[in-house]
Structure 1
Amino acid sequence: MTFQKTILASSLFSLLSLGLSGQALAAEVPEGTRLAEVQQLVRGNGSEPASLDPHKTEGVPESNVLRDLFEGLVTSGPNGEILPGVAERWETADNQVYRFHLREDARWSNGDPVTAHDFEYAFKRAVDPRTASPYSWYMEKATIENATEVVNGKLPPEALGVRALDDHTLEVTLAKPVPYFVGMMFHTTTYPVHRATVEKYGDEWTRVGNMVSNGAYTLSNWVVNERIELKRNEHYWDNASTVVEQVTYLPIPSQNAEMNRFLSGELDMTYEIPLEHFKRLSSQHPDKVRVGGYVGTYYYQFNTRKPPFDDARVRNALSYAIDRDIIANMVMGQGEIPAYTLAPEVVDGFTPPAVAWADWSQAERDARAKALIEEAGYGKGKPLKFQLLYNTNDNHRKVAVAIASMWKKHLGVEVELVNQEWKTYLDTKTQGNFEVARAGWIADYNEASSMLDLMQTTHGNNDGKYSNPEFDRLMADSRLATDDETRNQLYAQAEEILAVDMPIAPIYQYVKARLVQPHVGGYPDNPLDNIYSKDLYIQAN
């Protein structure tokens, strides 16, 4: 391990003279903290990112890197709170027309100013059908004026309700009031992109040497399936508050391999923790195991367009026969909570309803599942057979093996497990080429609609093609509700519909468990797991 010289956080002038960062330290570094001379952070990142174009991504591995490379109007604080980003301030009189005032010192990594015109271009690019963004629906969800019509090709991108009033004022007009709109603006889909660079290089604009970004870091190296390296962006408006000089992301789909590299000192943070080693690691390395609440749910998705999964009896039978207590407490065992609804209990301001089947014993669920599967025409003489898709990951495999065993034991179901690498898996799900698939949804902002909207007929990530007009109506009405109580009542009714139709089988509510070296300072317990490397620092050993 590289020898690390010690520097006191209070010795700003000494730091400058040594040239460690060339800037003053962040206020978040406690006075007297002994900082390592080498400020390099190595993060495990699960899978190889499918893209680093903010408007062409949909997964967590991509978002982790993009949060370092780009910055939106606002950012997410350590506790998930909204903080100023490129926008210094904002105002609205009616929750329908929002004005964002951009800081004048915001710069792209090539020195160009970041302007309101950049955000206008980016928002319109995200909804442009030619971009084929998997998250174009996000602008529809935000109810930006004309977003739905633009996404569906009925209006040109220029009709989107976003305009730069001048270089530093962005106005966004919504089709209807959305009180939590600002909280949606720290998602990667709302990041600006450098128009001249995109137009010059086309699809190759995200390559090393081509990319121009506006976040705390720039892309310095990308070896596919090996590493992504970032270095500090000297033009970033808050570069003075950045401590970590270099960030390296390693795509390691095997949790065991990642754990071993962490324990050998190669990693500062892991993406996840191997299930079978969690208790041992918690006992032997309690100062390195970090577990926090996470606004997300792990579930199995049924392709409702493919028989027999167009039959709610089959979907309910398979869901009932999953013993969630065993999956959450024994297979996972990191603090996960059995899930019976799509929205988890930790979502801000909403308590999911107690759906009827959640109160049944597992024996009662198994009995009901057997009766339903037989009603649907399956049983000992005609076993239900299908493929279960999951992305390559040790933990997903363990869950799949356990659930397939439950289905075989109680329903006689014969399941073929199919695993695919992350990018292929995403493509397969998007194209609808699956029967049942492992899935998980992490809220894009901390509000129940970020979870429930997923099941709307027109949602871009509704890969199972579930459609229920009453569910759609409830979610549409929720966006018109002017008070939290009414909105939450509509959410509860929507959850009850899902509990009957069962387009997905909720399995457990996430927690975020990873290994973090004790020398990593500033690590937050963010409920959305939005971790910005610029807020971290390496302490001397």
Structure 2
Amino acid sequence: MTPVLKNSLAASLFALIAASPAFADNPVPEGTELAEDQSYTYWLLDAIKSMDPQINTDVEGSDVLRSLFEGLYNENGTGELVPGVALEHTVSDDQKTYTFTLRDDAQWSNGDPVTAQDFVYSWKRLADPATASEYAWYLELMQIENAAEIIAGDMSVDELGVTAVDDRTLEVRITTPLPYFPQMLVHASTFPVHQATIEEHGDNWTRAENLVGNGAYVLDEHILGERVEMSKSDTYWDAENVIFTDLTALTINDVNQGLTRYLAGELDRVDIPAGQYPRLEEEYPEQANSVPYNCSYIYMLNVGESGPEELKDVNVRKALSYAIDRDIIVERILQGGQPPSYNWTHTAVAGFERPEIEYANWTQEERIEKAKELLAEAGYGPDNPLELTLQYNTSEDHKKIAVAAQQMLRQIGVNITLANYEWKVHTDRMQNQEFDMARYAWCGDYNEASTYLDLLASYSGHNNGEFFNDEYDQVMKESKTAEDPLPMYQQAETILAEEMPIIPIYHYAKVFMLNEDIKGWPLENVNQTWYAKDLYRVAE
């Protein structure tokens, strides 16, 4: 085994990790006066569907899970990797075997030591078809040995390429070198879970009275759709440097109500409703924030067998996309610094350059004329309107965008019926292909373009629109072994623009209010991956 530091492909990642101390420093700068109250209350739009790292699929759920559990690595305020349960790793000369050295002071909240076997158990559980995890495919993206065969039910989970060499040494075998492999380990699906607790309580193991985690906080209460209460764990390896003592996440489906409660002092953080950032930034310059955020907002089209026949025509799909005026959406509705998008991958993703996409350079008038022309070729127009349903999850912002899209599409002869569903129903319907068009957003699991582009491959567990394209699949497979994958990523984006299985709307900015007493927020991390253990409240 060759230390990573000597390995050209992974040296930079190792350097980031190796430069970080094995034991975290206190996040509070010297001389800072801390507030006596170190509680933190923040807003959630939707209910947390699951506290199980291998089952959760939501960004907000991951925010909670990063407090209750800890994976091999974490991210710092600029998105660089820092030690979590793993202190460091080495990689073999062929780039296919990673060996992680785990810290010896990591504990579960019941006092049990966290061992390499915990990761082996958890990753096998993620791959096991019996778990029915929507994120099982993530192990395939990580190129873990035998993951695809296990997920397909063709091989035993015991054949997964993860081994506990001893309590403090975890070996992971991948089939294809991935320079960004360590970055993928911050995703919640890779977090360890406590085997004995799951075996004792079954599906009830995530209840507050049962859950055993290894994070900086423990779960005190979870009332679905109402609140999540957490408190500082005294068994966490770096507990002495964790400042917040209590965390409360409140589910408030109306972001405007959330803002009202924030301004009343009931919340320390809330997203800013569409259109209100300019006013709030002027009135509360120390609290209103808008920073690039590694997520993209789209309308996914159901082009699979269960989808409407009309959407199987690429001309129809292109017409729908061309008719939507992104500038109006970002400049008049959102007004939070979000850039309009004509492609899938967020342009702020590290190392990514958007290819030349023809319709992105047209005027909106040119797009409208082309949309009418394509729709007419498909047999639709004012005298024979196309009828489709657009569904979205409960949110005033999503509603505003959907209403605008409805009006924009009407001008080319498309009648859109809007359908609003609460989050769980919305996502269940998408997973079951029970939709025509659906509001969708994807937040990168790591800061690299493949986190977007793999999602629309046939092997993806989130390709809900069932876009299956052999050329696209081949390009993405070739990208895994390319010395420079950028040209293949650009080719994949070009295919998406030609086939239009999704309608890009905008790339996210994180637009939110944060109590100016709260410090340590990772504004420079494009993933906006935040850890409550790194935050603190200063005295007024």
Match in the other structure for 1:415:
416
The aligned runs of 1:435-450 (5 Å cut-off) are 435-450=436-451
Match in the other structure for 2:487:
489
1:370 aligned partner, one-letter code: K
1:171 aligned partner, one-letter code: E
Is this contact kept in 2: 1:243–1:536, CA < 8 A?
yes
Is this contact kept in 2: 1:49–1:423, CA < 8 A?
no
Match in the other structure for 1:167:
167
> Deviation string for 1:123-164 (max 9, x for gaps)?
000010010101111000000001000111011111110110
The aligned runs of 1:332-351 (5 Å cut-off) are 332-351=334-353
Q: Does 1:293 align with 2:301?
A: no
TM-score calculated relative to the size of structure 2? 0.94
The aligned runs of 1:139-154 (5 Å cut-off) are 139-154=139-154
For the residues of structure 2 that align with 1:522 and 1:380, how far apart are their CA atoms? 55
> Deviation string for 1:397-441 (max 9, x for gaps)?
1111111110012x1211111111111111111111010000011
For the residues of structure 2 that align with 1:35 and 1:511, how far apart are their CA atoms? 30
Is this contact kept in 1: 2:129–2:151, CA < 8 A?
yes
The aligned runs of 1:492-531 (5 Å cut-off) are 492-525=490-523, 526-531=525-530
For the residues of structure 1 that align with 2:63 and 2:202, how far apart are their CA atoms? 23
Q: Structure 1 residues 459-468 or 349-358, which shifts more?
A: 349-358
The aligned runs of 1:415-434 (5 Å cut-off) are 415-434=416-435
Q: Does 1:308 align with 2:310?
A: yes
1:365 is displaced (CA, Å) by 0.7
Match in the other structure for 1:355:
357
Match in the other structure for 1:368:
370
The SS at the match of 2:269 is coil
The SS at the match of 2:79 is coil
The SS at the match of 1:304 is coil
The aligned runs of 1:362-401 (5 Å cut-off) are 362-401=364-403
1:444 is displaced (CA, Å) by 0.3
Match in the other structure for 1:14:
none
For the residues of structure 2 that align with 1:516 and 1:448, how far apart are their CA atoms? 29
Match in the other structure for 2:236:
236
For the residues of structure 2 that align with 1:203 and 1:25, how far apart are their CA atoms? 34
The SS at the match of 1:130 is helix
Is this contact kept in 1: 2:26–2:242, CA < 8 A?
no
1:25 is displaced (CA, Å) by 10
The SS at the match of 2:346 is coil
The SS at the match of 2:34 is strand
> Number of residue pairs matched?
513
Match in the other structure for 2:138:
138
Match in the other structure for 2:78:
79
Is this contact kept in 1: 2:275–2:336, CA < 8 A?
no
Listed as ranges, the gaps of 5+ residues in structure 1 are: 1-23
The aligned runs of 1:178-189 (5 Å cut-off) are 178-189=178-189
Match in the other structure for 1:100:
100
Is this contact kept in 1: 2:301–2:311, CA < 8 A?
yes
Match in the other structure for 1:404:
406
For the residues of structure 2 that align with 1:506 and 1:412, how far apart are their CA atoms? 20
1:95 is displaced (CA, Å) by 2.2
1:241 is displaced (CA, Å) by 1.2
Distance 1:26 1:99, change over 3 A: closer
1:26 is displaced (CA, Å) by 5.2
> Deviation string for 1:439-462 (max 9, x for gaps)?
011110000001111110120000
For the residues of structure 2 that align with 1:276 and 1:360, how far apart are their CA atoms? 26
1:426 aligned partner, one-letter code: T
The SS at the match of 2:397 is helix
For the residues of structure 2 that align with 1:165 and 1:309, how far apart are their CA atoms? 51
1:189 is displaced (CA, Å) by 0.5
2:269 aligned partner, one-letter code: M
Q: Which portions of structure 1, spanning 4 or more consecutive aligned residues, are displaced by more than 4 angstroms?
A: none
Match in the other structure for 2:67:
68
> Deviation string for 1:162-202 (max 9, x for gaps)?
11001110000001111110100000010000000011111
The aligned runs of 1:143-292 (5 Å cut-off) are 143-270=143-270, 272-292=271-291
> Deviation string for 1:74-123 (max 9, x for gaps)?
01111111111000111102321001110000000000000000000000
For the residues of structure 2 that align with 1:45 and 1:324, how far apart are their CA atoms? 26
1:395 aligned partner, one-letter code: D
Match in the other structure for 2:49:
50
**What percentage of residue pairs aligned between the two structures are identical?**
44
Is this contact kept in 2: 1:43–1:268, CA < 8 A?
yes
For the residues of structure 2 that align with 1:426 and 1:62, how far apart are their CA atoms? 14
Match in the other structure for 2:33:
34
Match in the other structure for 1:12:
none
1:458 aligned partner, one-letter code: Y
For the residues of structure 2 that align with 1:508 and 1:336, how far apart are their CA atoms? 7
Is this contact kept in 2: 1:26–1:240, CA < 8 A?
no
Is this contact kept in 2: 1:281–1:289, CA < 8 A?
yes
Q: What is the aligned-residue RMSD (CA, Å)?
A: 1.1
1:391 is displaced (CA, Å) by 0.7
For the residues of structure 2 that align with 1:356 and 1:235, how far apart are their CA atoms? 56
1:325 is displaced (CA, Å) by 1.0
1:223 is displaced (CA, Å) by 1.6
For the residues of structure 1 that align with 2:292 and 2:365, how far apart are their CA atoms? 30
Is this contact kept in 1: 2:276–2:335, CA < 8 A?
no
